Amino acid sequence: MATFRTLSTGDVIRVAIARYLKFYSHGFVDLSWLNRFCGSVPGNFSEEDVKDVELMYCLLVSAEKIGSLQFDSASTFLNQCEKFSSKYGSSVQRIVHYFTEALREKFDLETGRITSKGAKGEENMLLYPEVMVVNLKPALLACFLELPFYQATRFAGMQAIIESVAAAKRVHLIDLEIRSGAQCMLLMQALATQHEPQVELLTITAVGTTLRHEIEETGKTLAYFAKTLNLPFSFKVVMVTSLKDLNENLFELHKGEVVAIHSSITLHHMIRLPNCLESVIRVLKNTNPQVMVVTEIEANDNLLSFEDRFFEVLFYYSTFFDCMEDCMSRSDQNRMMVEELLGQAIRNIIANEGEERIVRHMKIDAWRAFFSSFGLVETELSMSSLYQAELVVKNFACGKGKYCTFEKNGESLIVGWKGSPHLSLSVWKFHQDKGREGFIHHVFGPGPLSVYKVSWDPLSTLKLGSVSVPVSVSRRSTAEKKMEGKTREDLEKSGMIDTWLGKHSLLYTGATRHPFILSIRDGTVDLSSFKTWLGQDYLFVREFAPFVASVLVKAWKESDDSYGDREVILGGLASLNDEVEWFKREASKWGVQLSSISPQKANENYCRFLEYLMSPEVGYTVAITAFWAIEAVYQESFAHCLDDGANTPRELRETCQRWGNDGFGQYCLSLKKIANRRLEKASEDARLVDASKEVLNKAEVALIRVMEHEVEFWNMSRGGS
Ligand SMILES: Cc1ncc(CNC=O)c(N)n1
């Protein structure tokens, strides 16, 4: 029998609480405080939902029994939970599995079966989050890419930094946990493509307590990236044994530099060490930064009693697990590894008290009170930042991003999943003369904190296409520049495509100036990467042909024959035959066995996107825009390898010629012209017809998707995931 769920994990918890209250309402204990967790829940349950509620109910009773020291009874319920939960099951089963482990540990500690010293050893790993991050790097990276809220805060946060430093010639970014450095690349691209003022130097200082080697490797990647962008760049590492030893003199600050601070999911590690946190903020303040951008986990488990904490974290992690259930498959190894890691955090929060409680989180209201005590002023996220957040989640596969929700809290942004808060993103300015640091004790000691929430829907305030992003680029492709004079009237009026490319210049540069392409251009390309690309692209092109055919069908159905769209598309389709043959010859030249290659993940994802573009729900205007983008990225990338300054190896020149030649450039221009014409028509109609607005929106998103898939395709060729 098909099983389906109608309840989210949060709903399951609420129903279980309601049931618990009903059952125990005649009891001796006052359970009315639980009422606030109930809220409203849907009425119709499936069979699966009923089982989930039963299981969750057992978990709640176990927790309550442990809290009230009724250990025999607790044991019975814990056994039930252990029997019916599973780390391989649904998100409810998984959540119950990890919370049961945590309660079991609490049970063993309380009943003296183990001592806190003897508690499971890996907990100490929690003391070294940076090390843990490295051990789990691929898994975390995968989750980072597949869970929309991280991308939303990354793009929106970096946009806030870009805006703050836009007028500076010398920029110094201090990153408290640099990890892969992907966030820095956004800043680098923006600075490199900005005309005025021209950036004289970007310095990035990475702060770390361990893993010097990894940080230095990130530095090398960034330096290489800066070189390809022609951006004057310097990378520094500040290593300290403990962050409490951080000191502003360790930063090589220079006069005239504008300093920005980036802290992503880092500060909460120091909540358990308030003096350290205090000292870090004081040091950062002394660097006189223009701005500090902070992403934090929006959960509160710092000061609560066992019972309150239990419910807080149960709701918080159930959102997390639901999001993984929605975005990743159940058997995904990366997901399982990250869930194990979350399980360790859950165990620490639930089972431990006092100093043993390493994992602690605070919500934005507590952070606000803390930062304010240092004279930091919360600053509103700009429209462009919100727009970046919106846009990046819109682009998640299969519309998963639509469950990512945004809410404003004060000036900050709370990013959630289906309305449940998950991360906070806040922007802070330092006012040197302000600050009442003694106030900190109110944050770490009990005391009421003001919370103000404004319900807020960014979609209602943002209109796609009306927000400018403060980066300007040369929007004309190399092919266009080459053809200047020849097709002047085509180029004179710049259309929607150029507007969008300007707006998404970061991504466009990412797709057309990828390190893989740059390595071909400077002759350092790794042969095995090239072969991987060759084999994978052969598979891609075979999928691409039916897509082109589908665009032809849409042109035939939707476009006026007088424009000659069909000839252009047919020409493209015809040349694919030749291209497939070329791939076969080229593969045998390099000893690549095409018959034994299967598509890698990034390739599969891209092909799945092509399939979506082929579906009837995508109209001609959107399809032709995507089609242009797919061709244009290759044209622009490979033409760059044939430019004057290029050092492309002789045996790769033919490959670059295939997409970098002038004829292909001309063909891309024809596609662009068609797309611009269709988009212009849609924007004229958009004033009258809502559906046309939708078309414009879809086309812009499709353009972005293509660029993202192209970046992933290049990454894959170089052996990335
Ligand atoms: C991944 C990718 N993107 C674009 C193209 C260019 N179009 C047809 O050849 C391609 N071959 N492969």
Output the CA torsion sign for 675, 677, 678, 681.
positive
- Give distance in angstroms: CA of 185 to centre of ligand 1: 25
Which of helix, strand or coil describes residue 421? strand
Residue 454's pLDDT band (boundaries 50, 70, 90)?
very low
Nearest alpha carbon, ligand 1 atom 4: 630
Q: What is the pLDDT of residue 173?
A: 98
Smallest CA-to-CA distance from 634 within 442, 478, 488 is with 478
Question: Which pLDDT score is estimated for 129?
Answer: 65
What pLDDT does residue 532 have? Answer: 97
CA of 537 to the centre of ligand 1 (A): 7
Tell me, yes or no, if 558 is annotated catalytic.
Answer: no
Per the CB < 8 A criterion, the answer to whether 349 and 309 are in contact is: yes
Provide the H-helix boundaries in 166-305.
Answer: 182-193, 212-229, 274-286
- The CA 402 to ligand 1 mean position distance, Å, reads 29
What band does 548 get if pLDDT is binned at 50, 70 and 90?
very high
Ligand 1 pocket test target in 514, 634, 706 with most atoms within 8 Å of CB = 634
ipTM of model: 0.97
Closest ligand 1 atom, residue 658 Cα: 9
Residue 20 — pLDDT band, cuts 50, 70, 90?
A: confident
Q: How confident is the model at residue 610 (pLDDT cuts 50, 70, 90)?
A: very high
* Mean pLDDT, residues 345-366: 92
CA distance linking residue 355 with residue 334, whole number of Å: 31
Q: How large is the average pLDDT for residues 627-645?
A: 95
Q: What is the DSSP letter of 269?
A: G
257's enclosing H/E stretch is: strand 257-264
- Split at pLDDT 50, 70, 90, the class of 670 is very high
Q: 713 CB less than 6 Å from ligand 1?
A: yes
What would the DSSP string read from start to end of 520-577? HHTT---HHHHHHHHHHHHHHHHHHHHHHHHHHHHHHHHS-GGG-HHHHHHHHHHHHH
Q: Is pLDDT of 341 > 80?
A: yes
Specify the pLDDT at position 686: 81
Cα dist from 549 to 170, 545, 599, whole Å: 50, 6, 21
Q: Is the pLDDT of residue 600 over 90?
A: yes
Quote the pLDDT of residue 343.
94
Catalytic residue selected from 278, 480, 700, 710: 710
In the reported structure, the alpha carbon of residue 498 is separated from the centroid of ligand 1 by a whole-number distance in angstroms of: 21
CA angle 388, 392, 398 (to 5 degrees): 155
pLDDT digits 0-9 by tens, 378-409: 999 988 888 888 888 887 765 677 889 999 99
Q: Per-residue b/e over 4-42, b at no fewer than 16 CB within 10 Å?
A: ebebbbbbbbbbbbbebbeeeeeeeeeeeebeebeeebe
Asked if 413 and 389 count as a contact pair (C-beta separation under 8 A), the reply is yes
The answer to whether the beta carbons of residues 233 and 222 sit under 8 Å apart is yes
Instruction: Indicate whether residue 383 lines ligand 1 (CB < 6 A).
Output: no
For residue 713, the CA-to-ligand 1 centroid distance in Å is 10
Task: Take atom 3 of ligand 1 and give the residue whose Cα is closest.
Answer: 630
C-alpha radius of gyration, the chain, whole number = 28
Pocket test for ligand 1, best of 530, 659, 712, 718 (most atoms within 8 A of CB): 659
Residue 483 pLDDT level (bands cut at 50, 70, 90): very low
With a 6 A CB cut-off, is 367 part of the ligand 1 pocket?
no
Residue 667 has what pLDDT? 96
- In tens, the pLDDT along 242-259 reads 999 999 999 999 999 999
354: left (phi over 0), alpha (psi -120 to 50) or beta: left
In the predicted model, is pLDDT for residue 206 greater than 50?
yes
Asked if residue 529 has pLDDT above 90, the reply is yes
Q: Whose CA is nearest to atom 9 of ligand 1?
A: 541
How far is the centre of ligand 1, averaged over its atoms, from the C-alpha of 630 (Å)? 6
Residue given tokens 């004033």 in the structure block: 687
Confidence of residue 169 (pLDDT cuts 50, 70, 90): very high
- With a 6 Å cutoff on the Cβ, whether 708 touches ligand 1 is no
Among 544, 569, 607, name the best residue to mutate to test ligand 1's pocket (greatest count of ligand atoms within 8 A of Cβ): 544
Residue 511 pLDDT level (bands cut at 50, 70, 90): confident
pLDDT band at 509 (very low <50, low <70, confident <90, very high): confident
- pLDDT tens-digit map of 307-326: 889 999 999 999 999 999 99
Q: What is the pLDDT of residue 478?
A: 47
pLDDT computed for residue 122 by the predictor = 54
**Residue holding tokens 């992907």?**
182
Measured in angstroms, how far is the CA atom of residue 541 from the centroid of ligand 1?
6
Confidence of residue 260 (pLDDT cuts 50, 70, 90): very high
Q: How confident is the model at residue 371 (pLDDT cuts 50, 70, 90)?
A: very high
Mean model confidence pLDDT for the chain: 84
Give the number of the atom of ligand 1 that is nearest the alpha carbon of residue 536: 1
- The pLDDT score that the predictor gives to residue 135 is 65
Give the pLDDT confidence score for residue 457 in this predicted structure: 22
- The burial class, CB within 10 Å (0-12 / 13-18 / 19+), for 531 is middle
Any atom of ligand 1 within 6 Å of the Cβ of 283? no
Ligand 1 pocket member 583 (CB < 6 A): no
Residue bearing the CA closest to ligand 1, atom 12: 537
| Burial class of residue 653 (count of CB atoms within 10 Å of its CB; 0-12, 13-18, 19+) | middle
Lookup result for tokens 């504008």: 258
> For 461-473, what is the mean pLDDT?
25
Nearest-angstrom CA–CA distance, 475 and 662 = 18
Average pLDDT of the segment spanning 576-584: 96
Q: Is the CB of 634 under 6 A from ligand 1?
A: yes
- Going by C-alpha positions, the residue among 130, 125, 128, 239 that lies closest to residue 180 is 130
Count Cβ atoms within 10 A of the Cβ of residue 362 and give its class: 0-12 exposed, 13-18 middle, 19 or more buried: buried
